[in-house]
Structures are given as C-alpha cells and as structure tokens.
Structure 1
Amino acid sequence: MSAIDIEHELTIWMTDDIPTRMFYAGRRWRITDTPTRLRHSIWDQPTDGHALYGWRFQATDEDGATYVFDVYREEAGWHVHHTYR
C-alpha cells in the first residue's frame, strides 16, 4: 500500500487572527473547538529555512462529519498537513 498526497483548495477565515471556518475538499467546515497554534518544531517536512506556522483544530462539515486538521501557511496559501478522524 502506498500513500497518495492529494492537494485540495483550502481557504481559512479568521476572526481576531484565529481560524473560525474553512472551505476544504469542496466542503464548508465550522471550527468546533479552540484552535491550537502550531510552531515550527512540530513540522516533519523541510521548511527551506522558512519558519512555518499553523493551527490544529477540530472542524465539522455541513453533513456532521468531524475531523481534526493540522494546517500551515506558506507563501502560496494555506495547506492541510494532516487530518485525523
């Protein structure tokens, strides 16, 4: 079995610099817990000398599916690093 990375469009809306909702994989999501800021030290990918910052939060879509997301921001925009069910 091999892992396949699929990149989906990700848009995050913030209130007072904290994520409150997002659009990801064609679905609208509400942030349903208190987001945790993630620092550079947790990322397991190369950062090319740039400091990464991101968030971990639980989000629920319109159908009631709930996941935990680790997201990070780069120059090109927001990306999902991991999701947890």
Structure 2
Amino acid sequence: MRRTVEPAEVWTGPSGAPERLVWRARRYRVSDTPTPLVGPADWWHPFDGHDVAPGRAPLAITGWRFQASADDGETHVFDVGHDGRHWQVFRVFD
C-alpha cells in the first residue's frame, strides 16, 4: 500500500460510483464493484462534542475504494475522495 494524496480525474455513473479514472496520465477502467468509504457527515461537525446515545454520528460517503485496470493490464486498488472541487487519490494498493 502506498499512501499518497495526488490529483486524479474520476468519471462516475448515475449512482455516483466511479467508472473510470485518470491517474498519473494513465487511463483506468473500474473492474469491480466500488465500495463506498464512509465517515461522519459534514453537517454533523458542530455536534461532535455532544452525546449521541443511543447511536452514533450520521454517516455519509466520503470516498470510494475500487479496483481499476489500464488497457495493458496494469491493475491497482484505489482509495479516492472528492474535496468538493477535485478528486484525489489517497491510497494505492498494488
């Protein structure tokens, strides 16, 4: 696993799940079912210090993990997220 924060271009389908990726000037196609990565919803941050029993903070999709392959067969698993303006690659698993 390589930890990184690098820009990427990601194309998504109607559900918001990634379908294609350009990273380091290489094109990849998603070759499995993307898994949503979740974390506390942004709107919840003002309430972080409050007790939410019985339960926990509401969750939102914060990124995606998926396997993607280039035309020559090079394949990686990517963790990506969107910061509101740009897509970024956070982790790459070889």
TM-score tier, shorter chain, comes to: 0.7 to 0.9
Q: Percent identity?
A: 38
Q: State whether residues 36 and 64 of structure 2, in contact with CA within 8 Å, keep that contact through their aligned partners in structure 1.
A: yes
CA contact (8 A) 1:52 1:72 kept: no
Long gaps (5+) in structure 1? 42-48
Aligned match of 1:31: 30
Q: CA deviation at 1:40?
A: 1.6
Larger Rg, first or second structure (1 or 2) = 2
How many residues matched? 74
Cα distance in 1 for partners of 2:71, 2:83 equals 27
Which structure has more relative contact order (CA 8 Å, sep 6+)? It is 2
Kept in 2, the 8 Å contact 1:52–1:73? The answer is no
Structure 1 segments, 4+ long, off by >6 Å, are: none
Structure 2 spans left out of the alignment, 5+ residues: 46-59
